[in-house]
Structure 1
Amino acid sequence: MLINTATTKLKYILILTLITLVSCDEFLDVKPKDSLSTSDDVIVDKASAEAALRGVYSALGAGDYYGTSFQSIAYLSGDNIAWTGSQSQVQEFINKKVNADNATVSAAWNGIYRAINRANNVIAAVPLIQDPLLTTALRDQILGEAYFVRALAYFDLARTWGGVPLITKPTLVPGENEDIGRSTVEETYAQVLSDLESAEPLLPETTDRYRATRKTVWALKSRFYLYQQNWSKAEEFASKLISDTRYKLLKPYGTFFQSNARGTEESVFEIFYNGTTETNGHRNQWQPQTNGGTRQWAPNTAFLALINDPAVGGNRSVLVARDNQNRWYGNLYYRTPASDPSYIIRIAELYLIRAEARAQLDKPVDALSDLNAVRDRAGIALSVASTKNDLLLAIENERRLEFALEAHRWFDLVRTDRADDVLGVTEKFRYLLPIPADQILVDETLALDQNIGYR
């Protein structure tokens, strides 16, 4: 018997009405703690549960999350990219002095909470469905995927803003969460681990490049433990993926993205875009005008010197190209229409996570082996680093090039407390971004306080 009581119908009609109203607004006008969205219909049976889960993934890949805004925070804030446009708010990331009224910060915050709220609706509704077509295995998988996306979302919030409001239930009426203040960063990361622990037993131990599985959970756990400096656990979960023959470092480097490749053995988790109803906004920002883009983000001089040096960049030089005016541009996103995947986790990351963890655990030989696996794929000479400090620096430098146009560089330098040494960020409060000013303003209860150092 399906869920069909009058009360339940009224509840979900209210939710759907609010979804419709919210979806008509611009992203920056939506209060993330109040926004409601799951799918185009209520969640009452197998079909609507699957549609709702698709909505969760759609939010994950949206332009304000992994589609553009959130990822841009990581690479614009690093030291590889120059801004060629005129918007001063984008230059704030390049200058490492971001203000609370920055539109990209607000968009990313809203986009991440939108994904969380969609996941919350799935997590709340799916256990109540009584539809014989929704088998236990399928129910578990849908729930596990929603838990995984919520874990990833809170992980991204924590590493960007620190402690944030923890919203784990669907919002039924606007304003009901306004009195929920910020949790500590420790509590936020605890929520991440809790969601990963919930997801793991629910998901199948299969290989899927586009949907969360138990293996995807292991990969994110490895990254999570790296950030927590739990080196043994980071090594343990990275090893689960590296030992799986379904994941490989493809040679040469460009194999995983060139020639319209997608879902290769290099990929642990990536977002699929069909290029029509769902497009990846990165392409327009990176490609030059002659290719139909704006080239507002471009590789800077220092990065070009590294990536084009055969002894350093090796075959990773395919990440950049020159237009008809001899100007360099990033070429990870190039497809027409814009159907390039957004790469969230690649097997190369697991090798370098394990290398870093092993270096910290005083396993220099093993750490060097993992580092050199990545260098060998890049077509460069093997490293001979032997001391812990030399190994860690070599791994840091390798990550800079390996993930140059992905969402890692800024977060790597912050988590290792190297942003001052490498980027000259002397004001450590800037290791975290400001809570968006519009969120502070709409919080009438004053429960949402700003990060220290920002106004």
Structure 2
Amino acid sequence: MMKIINQNRYIQLYKIPVLIVCCIFYTSCEDFLEIDEPLGQIPHKEVYEDEATATAAVTTMYAKLRDEVLVTGTSFGMGALMGLYTDELEFYGNPWDPSLTFYYHQIVASDVGVESIWGKSYNLVYMSNAVLEGLETSDKLSTEFKQQLRGESLFIRALVHFYLTNLFGDIPYPKTTNYQINSEIEKMPVDLVYSAIQEDLTEAKSLLSNSYIMGERTRANSGAVSALLARVYLHLEQWQKAETESSEVIGNASLYTLETDLNNVFLKESHSAILQLKPQDPGANASEAATYIFDSPPPPFVALSNGMVENMDSNDLRKTQWVGEVTDGSQSWYYAYKYKQQFNTGTSMEYSIVFRLAEQYLIRAEARARQHNISGAQDDLNRIRQRAGLANTTATDTESLLEAILNERRFELFTEHGHRWFDIRRFGVADEVLEPIKSGWKITDLLLPIPESDLLMNPNLEPQNPGY
């Protein structure tokens, strides 16, 4: 039985007397929408009789992503954990910090960090399913309004499962809140998980418009769905589809353009942002700055690896504008300086970015290279290099272009939601990259273990991943 039905930490699937979801867990929905009556006091059915409470049920899912699930910019998000898992970050925190096992590749099936990733992710899946079911039975909301919320919920469910299958391999894909069904749920093979992801995203794209529902880019639109689809197709090695979806985003110049100034990329008004997560408190900023920035040695949690920084070209503007340095006079440490506002600034300046345009250029460059469209791949790669103050690529064939693209992704997307790990894994070079620098590395570390407690509660989740 998965952790989503563990009464100690998650909503019980057989007891839903109050509003879903999320506001039972969080009051952060109030940041998105203020309502008169506390959501936790509203019966579940009544949530979907009013646009305000139905909207709050959906926006709270974004708050979960922002604060604790997968793409959070905190210390337990993929940016930090999988950065430590690779050659991107060095660990300097407390020896009892759960992140330490990721850094040293000492993860076991009872690892609390892994349990947290799995449990909180499936909790969010449950929430998305509860919203979908509530919308389905509602006769008080307009069709257009329900389509918007349904599209966003499908998008979030697909996003969570994309990360989970890349972390754990074969996983369940629950589509109901029914206790009995979920208590006996089985794992699906990765290819079927991807089929379910594509099904959710295809429907979501048909339901969502090109415009942003709240003005700011803090709720999914069709562009965000295309951005995720492009990433999905890249992982599936469906190159033409990846190119098509990324081209759809890149071609929407009225909404998305590359910021010429690197200092503007992570601002809340960034024209390259496709989906952002808004901070909870007025005047607050993205969590990433507080997670990565430090102003005195030694680093309190993590620092960028010297190897990564040293491998950046000296003329790379990302090295001077996205990397900070702290020294004690004899030794230097480096930190990610993409987000620069650690504290409340009165008016929020930075939102956490989940998808941005530069990734779409790099996706299309790779998709084109793998289809042997050398000039097209070069053009896309050079757009990113030129903005970073670098000369055009010297790669002129498929193999050298793919190597250059992998390298460019390393320096463009560092500390952003685990890109480095997923890249070296899907390129098949994880062993080559990590074996020389990680004494605990094993080839079976390509997957995380399914939490031991979940296997004990639900034998249908067997077998455990190899190596655990």
What TM-score, normalized to structure 1? 0.84
| Contact persistence 1:253–1:316 (CA under 8 A) | no
Q: RMSD in angstroms over aligned alpha carbons?
A: 2.8
| Contact persistence 2:284–2:343 (CA under 8 A) | no
1:195 aligns with 2:226: no
1:423 aligns with 2:434: yes
Question: Structure 1 residues 21, 370: CA separation in 2 closer, same or farther (over 3 Å shift)?
Answer: closer
- Give the aligned partner of residue 357 of structure 1: 367
The Cα offsets for residues 250-306 of structure 1, whole Å up to 9 and x where unpaired, read as: 12222212xxx2141111112111346987544333122659x96301111111213
Helix, strand or coil: the match of 1:61?
helix
1:92 aligns with 2:101: yes
Question: Structure 1 residues 277, 150: CA separation in 2 closer, same or farther (over 3 Å shift)?
Answer: farther
Which aligned pairs between 1:9-28 and structure 2 lie closer than 5 A?
14-16=16-18, 23=25
Question: Structure 1 residues 347, 276: CA separation in 2 closer, same or farther (over 3 Å shift)?
Answer: same
- CA distance in 2 between counterparts of 1:66 and 1:93 reads 17
| Contact persistence 2:22–2:127 (CA under 8 A) | no
- Give the aligned partner of residue 437 of structure 1: 452
Q: 1:337 aligns with which of 333, 336, 343?
A: 343
- CA distance in 2 between counterparts of 1:77 and 1:231 reads 28
Aligned residue type for 1:109:
W
- CA distance in 1 between counterparts of 2:263 and 2:231 reads 23
- CA distance in 2 between counterparts of 1:240 and 1:137 reads 24
- Give the aligned partner of residue 448 of structure 1: 461
- Give the aligned partner of residue 322 of structure 2: 319
Helix, strand or coil: the match of 2:77?
helix
| Contact persistence 1:74–1:406 (CA under 8 A) | no
The Cα offsets for residues 180-220 of structure 1, whole Å up to 9 and x where unpaired, read as: 12111111111111100121111112256211111111111
- CA distance in 2 between counterparts of 1:398 and 1:355 reads 11
Which aligned pairs between 1:261-276 and structure 2 lie closer than 5 A?
261-275=267-281
Residue 417 of structure 1: how far off its partner (Å):
1.1
1:57 aligns with 2:65: no
- CA distance in 2 between counterparts of 1:105 and 1:303 reads 26
Gaps of 5+ in 1: 1-10, 25-37
What TM-score, normalized to structure 2? 0.82
Q: How many residues align?
A: 420
- CA distance in 2 between counterparts of 1:162 and 1:452 reads 8
- Give the aligned partner of residue 422 of structure 2: 411
| Contact persistence 1:76–1:94 (CA under 8 A) | yes
| Contact persistence 1:276–1:337 (CA under 8 A) | no
1:154 aligns with 2:161: yes
1:387 aligns with 2:421: no
1:346 aligns with 2:359: no
1:310 aligns with 2:314: yes
Q: 1:123 aligns with which of 132, 135, 144?
A: 132
- CA distance in 1 between counterparts of 2:84 and 2:360 reads 23
Helix, strand or coil: the match of 2:409?
helix
Helix, strand or coil: the match of 1:302?
helix
- Give the aligned partner of residue 239 of structure 2: 231
- CA distance in 2 between counterparts of 1:453 and 1:156 reads 19
Q: Percent identity?
A: 27
Question: Structure 1 residues 115, 279: CA separation in 2 closer, same or farther (over 3 Å shift)?
Answer: farther
Question: Structure 1 residues 12, 405: CA separation in 2 closer, same or farther (over 3 Å shift)?
Answer: same
Helix, strand or coil: the match of 1:195?
helix
- CA distance in 2 between counterparts of 1:278 and 1:116 reads 27
Residue 337 of structure 1: how far off its partner (Å):
3.0
- CA distance in 2 between counterparts of 1:99 and 1:40 reads 40
Aligned residue type for 1:351:
Y
- CA distance in 2 between counterparts of 1:251 and 1:18 reads 43
| Contact persistence 2:361–2:380 (CA under 8 A) | yes
- CA distance in 2 between counterparts of 1:178 and 1:349 reads 38
- Give the aligned partner of residue 34 of structure 1: none
Q: 1:44 aligns with which of 42, 48, 71?
A: 48
Gaps of 5+ in 2: 1-12, 27-38
Helix, strand or coil: the match of 2:177?
coil
- CA distance in 2 between counterparts of 1:167 and 1:179 reads 11
1:250 aligns with 2:265: no
Question: Structure 1 residues 166, 20: CA separation in 2 closer, same or farther (over 3 Å shift)?
Answer: closer
